[in-house]
């Protein structure tokens, strides 16, 4: 049984359709990366799953329980980390966690043990007497994660947890999420830092204009996005003439000249031919160097552009937002 499932989930705000018949499946133990432009519907989906918004139509379920009808049973199962954490004035870290532990009816010696455990897990023990408002953005995010772990939820819903963090803080959050994944938590995480999602998540979903464009494994999305090849070619001279030759080659769809960084050619700024090649149109992209050599050009650089999560996202979306 899926841990999270939406069936034709729709959310409207007047004439605005924030979510349009969203069908999403996340299995128990998955780390699911939710990707989309600003305004695509990621936060709305997370808020519905966190029981903070009611669907206009369709269904959303957590652990087989239906949101909007069984919210009281769902809430103990989830931990929601928003993109910004609010804190009370003059409250120190251990008081903040004890306050929320009490709200979860964790009392007595058990409360102290649970608070100490989450402080250790999030590497905040040495900050337990510091005021929450004095913490850095990265530490506040770790504290926000510590808060939602107090009641040991099965599902973590994280909305841009690395937003606004410096590189060191992002690495610390990523390592913490890896540990939570090893603990068997089901994690839904939205983020714009796509290369980190690729390293962390085993499944991803791409949403645009309230509609789910893709839902599956990272390997599957990379295969789907790899339609043809994008190659960068350097020639010793007459680059415009070389690009004209490639335009006549079977399989080449688009040719342009771009400014390279020079790293592949021993330093210095240089120009490269940027060619899109579709195997379905005939031939093979590896023939490009031979074609250029046979036409009298000296090839100095030939490299295929790798397809990663960022390029897959750019190829599978059109940048349409509401």
d(CA 57, CA 67): 11
Is 26's pLDDT higher than 90?
yes
Residues of the chain with CATH 3.30.70.100: 227-306
Average pLDDT, the chain: 85
Residues of the chain with CATH 3.40.50.300: 4-224
The dihedrals phi and psi of 176, each to the nearest 5 degrees, come to: -65, -45
CA 294, distance to chain mean position in Å, is 45
Confidence bin at 267 (pLDDT 50/70/90): very low
d(CA 269, CA 153): 53
Name the fold adopted by 227-306: Alpha-Beta Plaits (3.30.70)
Angle between helices 137-149 and 167-182 (to 10 degrees): 20
pLDDT for 168-225, tens place per residue?
888 888 888 889 999 999 999 998 777 777 778 889 888 888 998 888 887 777 666 6
Residue 15 exposed, middle or buried by CB count within 10 Å (0-12, 13-18, 19+):
exposed
Q: How far is CA 126 from CA 53, 91, 122, 168, in A?
A: 37, 16, 11, 18
Instruction: Provide the pLDDT for residue 226.
Output: 61
Per DSSP, what are the bridge partners of residue 319?
none
Cα-only R_g, the chain: 25
Q: How far is CA 212 from CA 7, 16, 159, 283, 307, in A?
A: 12, 17, 17, 34, 21
Instruction: Provide the pLDDT for residue 256.
Output: 85
**Beta strands per DSSP E along the chain:** 4-13, 16-26, 31-35, 57-62, 65-66, 78-81, 155-159, 186-190, 203-208, 211-217, 229-235, 252-260, 270-277, 299-304
d(CA 125, CA 159): 25
Confidence bin at 271 (pLDDT 50/70/90): confident
Is 81 in a helix, a strand, or coil? strand
Please tell me the CATH code under which domain 4-224 is placed. Answer: 3.40.50.300
d(CA 279, CA 229): 8
Confidence bin at 262 (pLDDT 50/70/90): very low
């Amino acid at each position: 049984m899926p841990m999270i499932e939406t069936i034709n989930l729709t959310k409207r705000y007047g004439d605005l359709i924030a979510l349009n018949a969203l069908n999403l499946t996340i299995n128990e133990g998955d780390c699911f990366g939710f990707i989309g432009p600003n305004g695509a519907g990621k936060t709305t989906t997370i808020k519905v799953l966190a029981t903070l918004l009611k669907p206009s139509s369709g269904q959303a379920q957590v652990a087989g329980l239906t949101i909007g009808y069984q919210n009281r049973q769902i809430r103990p199962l989830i931990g929601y980390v928003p993109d910004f954490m609010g804190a009370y004035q003059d409250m120190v870290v251990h008081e903040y966690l004890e306050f929320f532990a009490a709200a979860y009816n964790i009392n007595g010696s058990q409360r102290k043990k649970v608070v100490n455990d989450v402080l250790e897990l999030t590497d905040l023990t040495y900050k337990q007497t510091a005021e929450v408002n004095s913490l850095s953005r990265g530490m506040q995010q770790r504290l926000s994660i510590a808060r939602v772990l107090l009641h040991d939820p099965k599902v973590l819903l994280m909305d841009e947890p690395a937003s606004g963090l410096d590189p060191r803080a992002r690495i610390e959050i990523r390592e913490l999420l890896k540990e939570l994944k090893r603990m068997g938590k089901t994690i839904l995480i939205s983020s714009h830092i796509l290369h980190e999602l690729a390293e962390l998540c085993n499944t991803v979903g791409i949403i645009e204009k309230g509609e789910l464009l893709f839902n599956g494994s990272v390997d599957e999305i990379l295969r789907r996005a790899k339609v043809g090849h994008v190659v960068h070619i350097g020639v010793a001279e007459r680059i415009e003439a070389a690009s004209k030759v490639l335009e006549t080659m079977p399989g080449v769809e688009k040719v342009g000249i771009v400014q390279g960084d020079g790293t592949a050619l021993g330093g210095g700024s240089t120009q490269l031919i940027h060619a899109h090649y579709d195997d379905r149109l005939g031939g093979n992209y590896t023939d490009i160097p031979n074609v250029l050599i046979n036409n009298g050009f000296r090839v100095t650089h030939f490299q295929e552009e790798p397809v990663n999560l960022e390029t897959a996202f750019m190829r599978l979306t059109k940048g349409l937002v509401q």
